[in-house]
Amino acid sequence: MIAFWILAPVMVIAALGILFVRKAVHAAMLLAIVMMSLAVLYAALEAPFLFAVQIIVYTGAILMLFLFVVMLVGVDASDSVVETIRGQRVLAVVAGLALGLVMVLGLSQISLGTAVGLDGANKGGNIEALANILFSRYVFAFETTSALLITAAVGAMVLAHRERLTPRSTQATLTAQRMKDYAEHGTHLGPLPPPGVYARHNAVDTPALLPDGTAAESSVSRVLAARGTVRSAPARAEDIEPIQGQIGGAPHAGRDAVAPATTTEVAPATGEEDPK
Amino acid sequence: MNVTAYVVLSGILFTIGCVGVLTRRNAIVVFMCVELMLNASNLALVAFARQHGNLDGQIAAFFVMVVAAAEVVVGLAIIMTIFRTRRSASVDDASLLKY
């Protein structure tokens, strides 16, 4: 009973969290908390087999499936706040509160008496006792379950299968397309430029600089550009002055080429060196 | 030991799952709330198995888990298919049959 009073608040809070978190990944994590706590409660309720099945099937398999789909669909697929039916959310919450109130009040009114306990039924082991019932009284339901599982697997395969509508593009067609683009629009034939490699920073999110000092946009992945996580190369060089002051070195001679945006600040510093 | 507390907890979890299904718009989260409701009913089944001292409740909970696993596989495949064609996982966007 101690396990129950520790886990019950945790489960209720985690379940309530599923209602309020914005991202599906967080909801999946909260659901994992609820399911693990449920497994412990099963162990406390003398159901060691269901304890293992809950962890393996629910937390292991089903939740992993959820996470896979969240990954495929995209983490950013968060809820829209637009209500299609007006007042639906408020009504749902009111109805839910009413249902919860009725359930809690009604269930706490009834007195179930003392529990019989499973010591007698579990004699000789819980798994053996379950198997005895499962393969005698429930054997037809058990066999039907196998048909259900096969149907579900085939259904998932049919749903996931995608027919190819266009012929597969080979390397030859890709090259021909590239040549055609070059002939018609003058698109660059060669590979895309690599990202910028600088003395103090070297990462794929920093664009290379063209000879005139502007950033080459095609040198960073367009996924990074769409996410807005592309760094600016001149910004990388902004803290160079304080650091040079700290280590007492001479100002960088080639800084103008790296940071054209900050030439005004650099001008006095380079002016001192110019007499050379 | 009394199982009333377990049954009340199962009722609370079921209610939370219900409200989640009604309020959330993301199909995946709606599905998670359905799973929460199934889990809550499982807890009630296991608790009542202990109350009555026979294992039929645990067998029922076991079958619920099997059906839930099959349901999740097909349901998530449907969500994936809808997402692939409509680029959205919102339950409000799949409304073509309405008109």
- Rg, Å, chain A Cα set: 32
- Which phi and psi (to 5°) does residue A183 adopt? -70, -35
pLDDT at residue A268 tops 50: no
Residue of A nearest to B50 (CA): A117
Q: What is the pLDDT of residue A80?
A: 63
Q: Is the pLDDT of residue A241 over 80?
A: no
Distance between CA atoms of residues B56 and B41, nearest Å: 14
Sign of CA dihedral A157, A162, A164, A170: negative
Q: What is the mean pLDDT of residues A205-222?
A: 83
Q: Is the whole-model pTM more than 0.80?
A: no
Highest-confidence range of A214-223, A254-263, B56-65, B84-93, by mean pLDDT? B56-65
Partner residue facing A42 (CB), from B22, B46, B90: B46
* Cβ contact, residue pair B18, A120, below 8 Å: no
Nearest to B55 among A70, A95, A129 (CB): A129
Please give the ipTM for the structure prediction.
0.93
Task: Identify the band that residue A164 occupies on the pLDDT scale cut at 50, 70 and 90.
Answer: confident
CA distance B97 to chain A (A): 16
**Does residue A75 sit at the B interface (CB-CB below 8 Å)?**
no
Closest CA to B40 of B69, B66, B75, B8: B8
Q: What is the pLDDT of residue A251?
A: 54
Kindly list the distances between the CA atom of residue B97 and the CA atoms of B86, B91, B92, B93, in Å, as whole numbers in the listed order: 14, 13, 12, 11
Using a CB–CB cutoff of 8 Å, tell me whether A33 touches chain B: no
List CB contacts (< 8 A) between A38 and chain B.
39, 42-43
Query: pLDDT at residue A269 above 60?
Result: no
Smallest Cα–Cα separation from B63: which of B45, B48, B87? B45
Whether residue A21 contacts residue A28, with contact meaning beta carbons closer than 8 Å, is answered with no
pLDDT at A34 exceeding the cut of 90: yes
Mutation choice for B interface testing from A1, A5, A7, A11 by most B CBs within 10 A: A11
pLDDT at B93 over 80: no
**Tell me: the pLDDT tens digits for A144-154?**
999 999 999 99
Q: How would residue B66 be classed by pLDDT, with cut points 50, 70 and 90?
A: very high
Average pLDDT score, chain A: 82
pLDDT band at A276 (very low <50, low <70, confident <90, very high): very low
Using a pLDDT cut of 90, give the percent of chain B over it: 61
User: Per-residue confidence at A265, pLDDT binned at 50, 70, 90?
Assistant: very low
Q: Are A267 and A255 in contact (CB under 8 A)?
A: no
Structure tokens at A91: 């009504």
pLDDT digits over A167-191, tens only? Answer: 888 999 999 999 999 999 888 888 8
pLDDT for res A77: 53
pLDDT of amino acid B1: 59
State residue A259's pLDDT score.
45
pLDDT for residue B82: 87
Q: Using one digit for the tens of pLDDT, what is the confidence trace for A108-117?
A: 888 777 778 7
Q: Flag whether residue A72 sits within 8 Å of chain B, measured between CB atoms.
A: yes
pLDDT digits (tens, 9 = 90+) for B6-45: 999 999 999 999 999 999 888 899 999 999 999 999 999 9
Decide if A255 contacts A240 (C-beta within 8 A): yes
Instruction: Tell which B residues from 24 to 43 touch A, by Cβ distance under 8 Å.
Output: 24-26, 28-29, 31-33, 35-36, 39, 42-43
Question: Does B68 contact A35 at a Cβ distance shorter than 8 Å?
Answer: no
